[in-house]
Amino acid sequence: MIYLVYQTKQVGYDEYDAFVVSADSKEEALKICEDETRDDTWHDGEFNKENTKITELNNKIRKGIVLGSFNAG
């Protein structure tokens, strides 16, 4: 499935606010986003259950991030 995963909190510069992700479940989609942003030393953990909304979009395709949105400073 394809999911839109986005933060519900206001984001600033140099932060991701959303991803479009292909995954088998909402939980897997969130994990993919958590893993992608975990290595970021400035914004570690910006995607988590408390501040993220996940919406199912469409059919199955290959797993991974389809689109990321990053607010550069």
Cβ-based neighbours of 64, under 8 Å, separated by 6 or more: 21, 22, 32
Mean pLDDT, to the nearest integer, of 40-68? 73
Helix ranges (DSSP H) in the chain: 26-38
Question: 44: pLDDT confidence band, cut at 50, 70 and 90?
Answer: low
**pLDDT of 61 over the 90 cut:** no
pTM: predicted TM-score of the whole model, two decimal places: 0.72
71 or 34, greater pLDDT: 34
User: Number of folded domains in the chain?
Assistant: 1
Domain that holds residue 60: 2-71
Give the helix, strand, coil percentages of the chain, each rounded to 5: 20, 40, 40
